[in-house]
Structure 1
Amino acid sequence: MITGEKMKIRKILCGILAGVLICTGNPVISQGKVQAQLQVVRSKTMTVTLEASGGRMVKKASVAGTVTLPSDRNGSDYTFLGWSTKRGQTRNPQYQAYETIKVTRNMHLYPVRYRWSQEPDINVKNLAANLDQYSRIIFVGDSRTVMMGQTLIGQYQNSVSDKVSFICKGRQGLAWMKETAEESLTKALKAAEAEEGATAVVFNLGVNDLIHRRGTEFDYQKKASEYITYMKNLAKQLSGFNCKLFYMSVNPVNTAMKHTRKESEVRGFNEALQKGLGDRYTWIDTYSYLMKFGYTTHNEFRGGLDDGLHYSMKTYKRIYSLVMKNLKKS
C-alpha cells in the first residue's frame, strides 16, 4: 500500500517530469500520460542479439545508441572472424570483434566461422626465384615470422633459402628491433651489396607490443607513435643501401582465445602505422586479406594448439604468397 506521504512525493516527481517534457516540446498534462511517455522512451532501447558459441547473448544499445560487439572463441575446426546478419557465413564478416556499431533497429547477428577444411594448400616454391626485381628478400619479425620461415624452409629448402632470409625471434618487438635486429639487418644489407639488384626488406613487428599485462590499460596509439618515429629514423639510416622497405600489417588475433590482446587495438595500430610511416615504406595489408578470405589457427609447430595468435602452415604460405605479389607490383 502506498502511504499518503509516498503519494505526495510521487505526484511532485511526476509534476516535475511533466514540466521538463513540456519544456522540451512534449506537453504532458496528466500523470498517466507522463507514465505512458516514459514507457515509449523505454521501448525505443534497441538490442543486438548474438548467437555466440556459449549461447545466445543480448546486448542493449548505450544511451548514444551504440553497441560494442564481443569476440567469440574459435572451435575445434573453425576460426571465428566476426559477425554478420547472414546465418552460415564463412568469410568476410560485416562486423569485426570489438567494433562499435550504431544501432537504429533491433539486430540479430550470427558468427562468421572460417572452416579449416576450406583453406587451400598452395605451392609457393618458386615465388621468390621468379621475382626479378630483387636479388634478396629479408623478413624481420617475431614468432609469426619465425614460423613462416620454418614452414617455407621446411617444405622447400634451398628453393626459398637461396634468396630469402629471416631476422626474427619469438616474443619480441620494438626494443629487440633497436637493440639487436637493426645491427643484424645492417650487416645483411652490407653483404647484399655484392649482389646485383636491390634487396626487399619486409618488417612485421608489433603484436608483442600490444599486450595488456595483468589487466592494465594500454595506449596503443602511443605505442604506434613510438614505432613510427623509430621506423622513419631507420629508413634514413638505411637510405645508403640499395633496398626497398615494406611493412606488413599486424595480422589478426582472437581476444577470446588470447585475452592479452584486443582486435580493435590491432586494427587501430595498423591504421596509425599505415598513415604515419609515409612514403618511405610500402604498406602490405595482409590483415584485411586474412579477414576477407579467412585463415586457420591450427598451429602445427605447437602440437595443433590454437592460441588465437599463431597460424597454420597453410596460412603462413598464403601470407608469404601475398607478400610476394606485393613485392612484384612494386
Structure 2
Amino acid sequence: MGYLQVFTNAIVVALMAMYVYENQRRTGDVLARLDRIEKELGIDIFSESKERKKIHMIYDLIEDMQKLMSTRAGKEELNKVQNQQKADIRKLVEIEDYQIAGTRKLADIENQQIKNNDKGVTYIRWGKTQCDGLNTETIYSGQVGGGHYTHSGASVNYICLPNHPDVAQPLKSHDYYGYLYGSEYEVYDFNKPQGIRSGIAQHDVACAACLAKGKISSIMIPGRKTCYNGWTKEYEGILMAGYHSHAAASEFACVDRDTEAMAGGSNNENGKLFYPVKTVCGSLKCPPYAADTEVLCVVCSK
C-alpha cells in the first residue's frame, strides 16, 4: 500500500467518524421536525418523495457506519489503519533523515573537491621563470644551482634555488664542505638545438617550482614532445646534462625549449653546466632512435 493511499484511508476514516457523530444528530433533528409538521398539518409531506427516501437511506447508512465503528472488527480495522499510518510516518522520518545525511555527504564531497583543487603534484620547470601549464601555479621562481663541473665529488643533481632565500648563518673557514654553485647554459651556435634561442651561452639558468593543481602524478618523458593518452602536457623542451668528459657527474634535465636566463647573469663563471644531449647509436637502439640527433622531452601530469 502506497503512502498516499494510506494517508487517504486515514483521512477518510476520520471524516467518516466525524460525519457519523455530527450528521446523525442533524439528520435525526430533521426527521423529528418533519414528523411534527406532518402531525400538525395532518398530511404526509414526503411520503412518496425521493428526497425523503434519500434522507432515510443516509440516516440508515450513518447508523450502519456507527455500528461498524462500535464493533470489535471495526475498531481493529481502525487500529490497523492508525498503526500503519504511524509506521509510514516513521518511515518518512527515516527517509528524510537519509536525505539530510545524503545532502550533507554531497556537501562534504564538494568541499573535499574544492580542497583537492588546491592540492596537486609539483615539478621543476627548468629554463623558465614562470609556470603556465593548464591550472598550474608558480610556487616560486629561482635560479638553478649544483656542484662545480670540475669537482669529482660534486653533487649530481640540479636544484632550483628560490630568488628570496631566508637568512643563513656563516660557516667557519676550512675545506670540509660540499659546495653549491650557480649554473650556466653552454649552448652556442655550433651546438644549439633547433628552436632554442640564440645568445644564451654563459647566461645563468632560470627555473620555476610548479604546482599542477588537482593532479597526483607527474613524469618527464624523454624522446617525446607529446604526452601519452590520459596525461596532460605541462611543458616540452630539450634534454640537457653536463659535459660527457667533465670530472663531475650530472643528471638529465628537461629544459624548456623557450629558454630564459637570469637577468644580469651573463659572466663566464661556470659552476653547474647545461649542455644539449646528443644520441649515440649502439646500445641505444636505432631505430627507433636516430644517430646524432637532439633528444626531445615533455613533462606530463595526471
TM-score, structure 1 length as denominator?
A: 0.23
Choose between structure 1 and 2: higher helix proportion. 1
Q: What is the TM-score normalised by the length of structure 2?
A: 0.24
